[in-house]
Amino acid sequence: MDACCPVCPSAARRSSFDPRAVRRDFPVLQQTVRGRPLTYLDNAATTQKPSEVIQAVCQYYGTCNANVHRAFHFLAEEATRRYEEVRKSAAAWIGAGSPREIVFTRGTTEGVNLVAHAWARKFLKPGDAILLTEMEHHSNLIPWQLAAKAAGASLRFVPVLPDGTLDLDAFAAHLAAGGVRLAAVTQMSNVLGTVNPVRDLAAAAHKAGALVLVDGAQSVAHMPVSVRDLGCDFLAFSGHKMCGPTGIGVLYARADLLETMDPFLGGGEMIDRVGLEESTWAEIPHKFEAGTPNVSSAIGLGAAFDYLNRLGRDTLAAYERDLTRHAVAALRALPGVRVYGDAPERGGAVSFAVDGVHPHDLAQFLDGDGIAIRAGHLCCQPLMRRLGVPAVNRASLAFYNLEEEVARLADAVVRARAYFGHGP
């Protein structure tokens, strides 16, 4: 074999990846639903949890349950140590420069709201603008509506093109018009699967004097993400979408920005000195973590980082890309089925519609076969209006899904069309 052998190490790892073996790590996937094997295709809403994540949470409660950053006894010191180790893991996961740039939150929604309150409401002024896109999840839209109204600022929007990509000329035009202080954009659409060119968008925004916030709820779980590579100023993501527990998330923010921002919540542990009339704040990131944090879920998130790192992030991403291409092709081959989004780079959120069958009816029909998908506006009502529909169905994939599950989905869609009188 010569030095130019086409079988590279990454390809070799991907070929050795066994999703069937991985599925055994997930207790939920071993059960049947209504007498049929569970086909879980709602991973964009939340992923399932491997046994070691579940065990990590239980172990915390069974061996070192205590509040963090408060007492000097063994349990508190051990809980604090584990909690802060996860902060280091989170920084490494997204390539942050320091754990000081990692704020624990309840999830992506709280992370975006933290920036909207602690940065936008302090620094936005009348006449400023926030630049968003038409594909944003409500969690990256409503906080900016509230912040803009409070500051007397305006909102500008980048249209979505027919293929599901952003109108990059419109993005540039909004920046050229001046006044944009912040651009907030999803890296991966939870409806279209579109992976946006965040690195290029951030470079253009910075050149125009704007900061950049990235909604990483979908991307961080399914592809390697580095905040230094993207060049973003803020990035928020959720633990439960990447095999971790619910109720825990991460906000990355540049340290210099965190230093200038006001606290989001007031209370215990986010303070330095407290007087009756005024107080001073703790060092970052603790300034933004008032009250008792979700210690158990943070430790569970740390176990999820370890689990996914052990499987190999590049390997998982490559498998999911292949499976997504297979799923899109399988659905597009069906009569009367429309798949939304045709971006050249896309993730595993595959939204579709079936002629003559309401999305809610289809989801309920599939549930009878043990197939779990999402139906509705997917928390993206403006995007639904752009697509010209009130709702869609969405099958969203993870590394533990199988080609046979895609085939099961396609077969069930065909039978659903026939059941509702729109097929043979």
375: CB partners within 8 A, 6+ apart? 359, 360, 362, 363, 391, 392, 393, 394
- Please state, in angstroms and rounded to a whole number, the distance separating the CA atoms of residues 188 and 182: 19
Q: What is the 3-state secondary structure (H, E, C) of 314-340?
A: HHHHHHHHHHHHHHHHHHHCCCCEEEC
Backbone region of residue 164 per phi and psi (left: phi > 0; alpha: psi in -120 to 50; beta: other values): left
Cβ proximity of 42 and 373 under 8 Å: yes
Whether residue 379 lies in the annotated active site: yes
Of 223, 404, 220, give the one whose Cα is nearest residue 315: 223
In the set 64, 232, 243, 379, the catalytic residue is 379
- Please state, in angstroms and rounded to a whole number, the distance separating the CA atoms of residues 248 and 235: 15
Of 368, 382, 365, 373, give the one whose Cα is nearest residue 416: 365
Cβ density class 14-53: b for 16+ within 10 Å, e for less: beeeebeebbebbeebeeeeeeebbbbbbbbbbbbbbebb
Of 226, 225, 234, give the one whose Cα is nearest residue 206: 234
- Please state, in angstroms and rounded to a whole number, the distance separating the CA atoms of residues 158 and 231: 20
Token output for 267: 């209370």
Measured at the CA of 394, the angle between CA 355 and CA 193, to 5 degrees, comes to: 115
Phi and psi torsions of 393, nearest 5° = -100, 150
Give the β-pairing of 271-274 and 249-253. Answer: unpaired
Phi and psi torsions of 228, nearest 5° = -70, -40
Q: Which residue has the tokens 């508190």?
A: 76
- Please state, in angstroms and rounded to a whole number, the distance separating the CA atoms of residues 290 and 105: 10
Cβ proximity of 44 and 346 under 8 Å: no
Question: What are the catalytic residues?
Answer: 379
